[in-house]
């Protein structure tokens, strides 16, 4: 696929260094030629960043024309000054791009607490010409914190294109990772269905991953449709779901210090929610995560994590635990004959598939996590070095 074929019609990009970070790009824009139908989902963290309430307000009418991202400072816990700074940026931008301020979605990611260097940003926006580009690369770089790489996926649905750009995980400074994802399409999407479409896709993708169980204060996933092509809605939803899953997986693959990815499917639960809760309990268990890092086929920790799931009751006699295709626990006893195969399976694969069969219903859910390594501790404790 040619590079420019990946980009849906009607969007331009921008990414540069304005001086929030020391050297790397820290200011990014997505600008649509016309007003788009749009939707966004946001962090549930009560201590949310100043961008979050502004973004919620601005996307409420189902319309957006631009996204602005600052990286390096999260603009969280910054009070009235932080809120005012965000409005100053949006005001300057609206003027410069001749679009309505109410159609801009702001995002910010980085350290919690400090104020943005607002004077520097305002000077930049006053003095510089913003040369928007066809290519998303500078934008994709401008939104990173300690991500190892830019994370971009695209696909075609009929004539239309869906492009997704995400950042997540990694630190250059001591703060939690923020997940920001922007999904663009030139398909036509009705204002009434764009939010439910995004919500459905996010629930099966971004909401199924966990790197360290810590919910960022700034998470945002936005979906903008420029409306150039008519596409069958089911096909578009399928494409949106796939891009969302690819982006979510890209975040876990770039997780801080991680060496392995684990896919945990809980089968035959009473509800999807029950299956998801059980899966999350497993991928968030420090003991399951450290065992995975050590290539240790320690299924007892999986049993423990399953058992501590809030509100989950089950019959130990019915539970089965698999590594890949190998059962390690069934009929309430260890399947010792599979131990060697499982050890080899874990040692030789970076993607580990675990299946828990509860045998108490018909619903399944898969969640995705990673291991807990020395490097996770290093990245998140090395403040002064």
> Known binding site for substrate: residues?
145, 167, 178, 256, 380, 385
CB of 52 to its own copies, least distance (A): 11
CB of 350 to its own copies, least distance (A): 16
CB of 176 to its own copies, least distance (A): 5
Q: What separation in angstroms does the CA of 133 have from each of 6, 12, 185, 312?
A: 14, 5, 17, 51
Rounded Cα–Cα distance for residues 288 and 282 (Å): 7
- What sign does the dihedral 209-214-215-220 (CA atoms) show? negative
Contact 184, 12 (CB under 8 A): no
- Residue 72: which of 170, 182, 197, 148 has the closest Cα? 170
CB of 150 to its own copies, least distance (A): 24
H or E stretch at 346: helix 339-348
Which is the catalytic residue, given 70, 178, 185, 261?
178
Query: What letter would DSSP give residue 215?
Result: P
CB of 160 to its own copies, least distance (A): 36
Give yes or no: 178 in active site. yes
Give me the residues that bind its own copies (CB under 8 A), please.
Answer: 44-48, 74, 76-81, 111-114, 174-176, 212-217, 284-287, 290-291, 293-296, 298-301, 303-309, 312-314, 316-317, 319, 329, 331-334, 372-374, 376-378, 380-384
CB of 105 to its own copies, least distance (A): 21
Q: Which residues pair with 372 in a beta bridge?
A: none
Phi, psi of 384, rounded to the nearest 5 degrees? -90, -5
CB of 42 to its own copies, least distance (A): 12
Closer of 158 and 174 to its own copies (Cβ): 174
Closer of 8 and 327 to its own copies (Cβ): 327
Phi, psi of 154, rounded to the nearest 5 degrees? -145, 160
Q: What separation in angstroms does the CA of 170 have from each of 61, 211, 255, 382?
A: 33, 10, 7, 13
Contact 252, 258 (CB under 8 A): yes
Rounded Cα–Cα distance for residues 226 and 38 (Å): 9
- Tokens (6 digits) for 188: 């036509």
Q: Which residues pair with 12 in a beta bridge?
A: 31
Closer of 34 and 47 to its own copies (Cβ): 47
Closer of 196 and 294 to its own copies (Cβ): 294
User: How long a stretch of residues is the chain?
Assistant: 385
Give 380's contacts (C-beta < 8 A, 6+ positions apart): 171, 174, 256
Closer of 30 and 111 to its own copies (Cβ): 111
Closer of 193 and 303 to its own copies (Cβ): 303
H or E stretch at 365: strand 363-370
Closer of 30 and 41 to its own copies (Cβ): 41
- Tokens (6 digits) for 357: 């069969």
Distance of CA 299 to the CA centre of its chain: 28
- 22 three-state secondary structure: coil
- Tokens (6 digits) for 173: 């400074």
What are the catalytic residues? Answer: 178
């Amino acid at each position: 696929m040619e590079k420019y074929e990946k980009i849906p019609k009607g969007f331009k990009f921008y990414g540069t260094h304005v001086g929030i970070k020391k050297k790397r790009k820290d200011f990014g824009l997505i600008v649509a030629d016309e007003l788009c139908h749009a939707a966004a989902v946001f962090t549930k963290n009560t201590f949310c960043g100043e961008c979050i309430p502004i973004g919620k307000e601005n996307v409420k009418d189902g319309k957006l024309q631009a996204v602005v991202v600052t990286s390096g400072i999260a603009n969280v816990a910054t009070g009235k000054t932080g809120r005012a700074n965000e409005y100053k940026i949006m005001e300057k931008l609206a003027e410069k791009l001749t679009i309505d301020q109410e159609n801009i979605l702001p995002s910010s990611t980085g350290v919690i607490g400090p104020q943005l260097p607002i004077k520097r940003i305002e000077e930049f926006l006053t003095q510089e010409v913003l040369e928007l580009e066809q290519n998303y690369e500078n934008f994709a770089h401008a939104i990173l914190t300690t991500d190892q790489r830019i994370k971009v996926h695209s696909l075609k649905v009929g004539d239309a294109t869906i492009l997704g750009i995400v950042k997540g995980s990694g630190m250059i400074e001591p703060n939690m990772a923020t997940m920001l994802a922007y999904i663009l399409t030139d398909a036509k999407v009705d204002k009434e269905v764009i939010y439910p479409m995004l919500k459905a896709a996010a629930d099966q993708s971004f909401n199924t991953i966990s790197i360290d169980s810590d919910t960022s204060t700034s998470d945002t996933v936005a979906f903008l449709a420029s409306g150039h092509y008519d596409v069958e809605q089911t096909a578009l939803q399928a494409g949106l779901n796939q891009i969302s899953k690819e982006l979510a997986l890209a975040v876990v693959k770039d997780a801080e210090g991680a060496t392995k990815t684990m896919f945990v499917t809980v089968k035959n639960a009473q509800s999807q929610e029950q299956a998801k809760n059980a899966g999350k309990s497993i991928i968030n268990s420090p003991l399951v995560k450290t065992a995975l890092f050590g290539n240790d086929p320690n299924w007892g920790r999986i049993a423990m994590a399953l058992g501590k799931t809030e509100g989950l009751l089950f019959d130990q006699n019915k539970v089965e635990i698999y590594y890949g295709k190998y059962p390690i626990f069934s009929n309430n006893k260890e399947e010792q004959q599979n131990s060697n195969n499982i050890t080899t399976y874990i040692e030789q694969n970076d993607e580990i598939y675990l299946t828990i069969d509860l045998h108490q219903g018909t619903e399944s859910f898969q969640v995705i996590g990673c291991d807990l390594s020395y490097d996770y501790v290093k990245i998140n404790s090395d403040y002064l070095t």
